[in-house]
Chain A
Amino acid sequence: MTRSGILSRLLSVYGLLFFAFIYAPILLIVVFSFNANPVNMMIWDGFTLDWYRTIFGFPSRLTESTLYVESTRQLYAAVRNSLLVALVASSVSTIFGTAIALAVARYRFRLRSFYRAFMFMPMIMPDIVLGIALLIFFVSLGAQLSIYTIMIGHCTFLISYVFIVVSARIADMDDKLEEASADLGANPWQTFRRVTLPLILPGVVGGGLLAFIISMDDLVITYFIAGVDSTTLPVFIYGMLRRGIKPEINAIATIMLVFSILVASAGLYLRARRK
């Protein structure tokens, strides 16, 4: 075998190992979410849907055991909180992130480049720092921690993500188009509605979906600023884990995974269709 043949074979092995490294744990979770063994998840004991039945509140082998603590209602509350937070925070962030991206791209003002750099800050900042900072901020304002503080907190960094995605889209757009629109008699609002918005829409939708997923997924920052009765799904799972890893966590994780993949594919599909 030639040298380059060996090298290319090594490269494919490396590639396979790389994907295994990334996806094997995720795959394991999906597999174990169907494992019937209630005590040791690592030992395959046959196929079951019990864990899914449990989290949806149906009677199952687990719910009949004496040790079982009913938590379906809390789980639902957490899911509802998460969805609500993600929906509100990503909507607000999409509007503001898009507005800032347009302003930075279209208007010359003082500190413009500073502003642009500043928009990246929340992304670079460690979550834990942001979480503590937000906590101190809310406490010093005398605000009660609640689902609203989570929404506000999420907005602070989600705006950055939307800003970046939308900015990339604007950079791709021919800025003569807006001039052409004005030239043809469209006032600034008409230009925005008829030219700018339709052309950046894929970026806006993409940014919004990204923000939604990131919000759904956030643990660290939310952990600091969540009120007692406003647990989100990641915080709830984290709480369950502290009581020991239970098989239904695998089922929850699998459902979250499927949900994320659906949202992301919707985003990709929309983007592909626009082109």
Chain B
Amino acid sequence: MEATSAMVASRKTQETEADPDHPVLEIRHAKKRFATPEGQEVVALDDVSITVARNEFLTLLGPSGCGKTTLLRVVSGFEDLDGGEILIDRQDIARQPAYRRPVNTVFQTYALFPHLSVARNVAYSLEVARVDPAEIRRRVGEMLELVGLAGFGDRRINQLSGGQQQRVALARALVARPKILLLDEPLSALDKGLRDKMQQELKALQHELGISFVFVTHDQEEALTMSDRVAVLGHGKLQQIGRPQELYRAPRNVFVARFVGESNLFPATVTQSDPAGIALRLSDGQEVRLPASTGNVLMVGAKVRLMARPEDARPATGKNNAGGLRFQGRIKQVFFVGAHYKILVHTQAHGTLKASLPAGEDLGSTPAPGQAVELHFPPATLHVLLDEEAGR
């Protein structure tokens, strides 16, 4: 009871007591195992450590079954950790039951109360915290307005569209001003147009309310669009955490490179390594020199992967011969996507490559299946990947 009213008042405490530098949420070495009915063990969280800053929009990104929901449930209090700790405003909350935690959730299926009106759904957390009815009415009204549902208060839940239900779920979770809002794939049930709209609205809402959002998705585009930072999860492990640009430009391992954006990956061997840079040889024999990266020092003979993003491909010309990688092949398929063409190129040595070429005004140069092409990736666009994935 006290904790819930504390949560309702958390807006004030956030502004006064909280020092803005320490993270709102710290997940330290979280471990969680499940026993399957067949008697096997699934490691859903394997030593995951993540911090979420005040006001931050953090996205958990990963394929289905990688432990995203489990991580949220551990934070909200519906699963117990097998190891590690969870701190909210520097306070270990592992022992607190779900209803005492200053965290609210937007569920994937919304989980709206079908027997209550829209307004009563939104009012729920305030009602159980025994907030003054007049105050409840005011805040519910404000919240409904904020999510664009003013005037819908008396509706029943089953009289709303999917997008409207989504907004009610948001309003319901936000009205008590939690320190952290958890969102478990909230947009996955919406159609594309509505999803894009809600992405923008969510981002704006987060900005306006100043509440930290932990947003779960398996859609990398969504993650890149919305987030301040993205944490990529794979096989229960944190693969990488960083700003969307970092993840995209400098994925730490193959798993991230594959999952975030599209990429071409070439196995390569280090043939030379000195303070100035490294040289790599691809399986087709071509060599490429790259400037030294700040990361690991590579040993000669090490096996690595070279990542090249499709949009960095250019048609090879005499001019851009210096450095980088070149591939000759034949166009297999062409997809016109407005600003550019996505093309699949078949090469002898490396199978199918993905490239995207700007769609110029020049209709004469339209790529077509069957054409021979030579693609060039400049050295600055290439990125060396060491491992398959974290901890493997």
Partner of B98, one of A176, A183, A194: A183
Separation in Å of the B233 CB from the closest CB of chain A? 22
Whether B109 and A176, one on each chain, are in contact in the complex, defined by CB atoms closer than 8 angstroms, is yes
Known: A179-B98, A194-B128. A184 touches B111 (CB 8 A): no
Contact B109 A184 (CB under 8 A): no
A179 CB to nearest chain B CB (Å): 6
Q: How far is the CB of A105 from chain B (nearest CB, A)?
A: 17
Q: Given the known inter-chain contacts A180-B107, A190-B128, please indicate yes or no for A185 contacting B115, CB distance below 8 A.
A: no
Q: Specify the chain A residue showing the minimal Cβ separation from B100.
A: A185
Residues of B close to A183: CB separation below 8 A? 76, 78, 98-99, 103-105, 173
**A64 at the A/B interface (Cβ < 8 Å)?**
no
**Option from A176, A179, A185, A195 in Cβ contact (under 8 Å) with B4:** A185
Say yes or no for B113: interface residue by CB 8 A criterion: yes
Q: In B1-41, which residues have CB < 8 Å from any A CB?
A: 1, 3-4, 7
Task: Tell whether, in the assembled complex, residue A186 and residue B113 are in contact, meaning their CB atoms are under 8 Å apart.
Answer: no
The interface residues of chain B lying within 8 Å CB-to-CB of A184 are 99, 104, 124-125, 128, 172-173, 176
Chain A residues, CB < 8 A from B124: 181, 184, 186, 194
Considering the complex, which residues of chain B in the window 190-244 have a beta carbon less than 8 Å from any beta carbon of chain A? none
In the complex, A186→B111 CA distance in Å? 15
Q: Give the residue of B3, B103, B113, B172 whose beta carbon is less than 8 angstroms from that of A195.
A: B113
Is B338's CB within 8 Å of the partner chain A? Answer: no
Say how far B76's CB is from chain A's closest CB, in angstroms: 6
A191 and B98 CA atoms in complex are apart in Å by: 12
B114: Cβ under 8 A from any A Cβ: yes
Cβ-based interface call for B65 (8 A): no
Q: A258: CB under 8 A from chain B?
A: no
Contact residues, A244-262 vs B (CB, 8 A):
none
> Interface extent on B, as a size class?
20 to 34
B370 within 8 A of A: no
Distance, CA A180 to CA B155, complexed state (A): 20
Q: Taking A186-B128, A194-B128 as contacts, is the C-beta distance between A176 and B99 under 8 angstroms? A: no
A198 in the interface (beta carbon within 8 A): yes
- Known A-B contacts A184-B176, A186-B99, A187-B99; the reply to A179 vs B78 at CB < 8 A is yes
Most chain A CB atoms below 10 A, which of B3, B7, B105, B111: B111
One digit per residue, 1 when the CB lies within 8 angstroms of any chain B CB and 0 when it does not, for chain A 167-179 equals: 0000000101101
Q: From A176, A185, A194, give the contact of B111 (CB < 8 A).
A: A176
Grouping DSSP codes into helix (H, G, I), strand (E, B) and loop, the B interface class, with mixed when no group exceeds half, is mixed
User: Pick the contact of B113 from A177, A182, A185, A190 — CB < 8 Å?
Assistant: A177
Please provide the chain B residues from 107 to 140 with a CB less than 8 Å away from any CB of chain A in the complex.
107, 109, 111-115, 124-125, 127-129
Measured between alpha carbons, how far is A186 from B1 in the docked complex, in Å? 8
A270 within 8 A of B: no
On whether the beta carbons of A199 and B115 are closer than 8 Å, the reply is yes
Task: Tell me, rounded to whole Å, the shortest Cβ–Cβ distance linking A72 to chain B.
Answer: 47
- Whether B84 is near chain A, meaning CB under 8 Å from some CB there, is no
CB distance from A273 to the nearest CB of B (A): 12
- Beyond A174-B109, A176-B109, is A182–B115 a contact (Cβ under 8 Å)? no
B107:A182 contact, CB within 8 angstroms: no
By beta carbon, the residue of chain B nearest A178 is B111
A187 touches B1 (CB 8 A): yes
Instruction: List, in ascending order, chain B residues with CB within 8 A of A188's CB.
Output: 99
Task: Kindly state the separation between the CA atoms of A191 and B100 in the bound complex, as whole angstroms.
Answer: 13
Determine the chain A residues whose CB is within 8 A of the CB of B3 once the complex forms: 185
Pairwise interchain contact B7-A185, C-beta atoms closer than 8 A = yes
* Alpha-carbon distance between A194 and B3 when the two chains are bound, in angstroms: 19
Q: Which residues of B contact A199 (CB under 8 A)?
A: 114-115
With both chains docked as a complex, state the minimum distance between the C-beta of B337 and any C-beta of chain A, in angstroms. 38
Which chain A residue lies CB-closest to B124?
Answer: A184
Which residue from chain B places its CB closest to the CB of A184 in the assembled complex? B125
Residues of A203-248 contacting chain B, CB below 8 A: none
How far is the CB of A116 from the nearest CB of chain B, in Å?
17
Report B-chain residues with C-beta under 8 Å of the C-beta of A195: 113
* Residue in chain B with minimal CB distance to A187: B99
CB neighbours of B323 from chain A (8 A)? none
Q: How far is the CB of B176 from chain A (nearest CB, A)?
A: 7
Please name 8 pairs of A and B residues whose Cβ atoms are closer than 8 Å in the assembled complex, sorted by A.
A182-B78, A184-B99, A184-B172, A186-B124, A188-B99, A194-B124, A194-B128, A198-B115
Q: List 14 additional A-B contacts (Cβ < 8 Å) besides A176-B109, A184-B124, A185-B7.
A: A176-B107, A179-B111, A180-B111, A180-B112, A181-B128, A182-B98, A182-B99, A183-B105, A184-B176, A185-B128, A185-B176, A186-B124, A187-B1, A191-B99
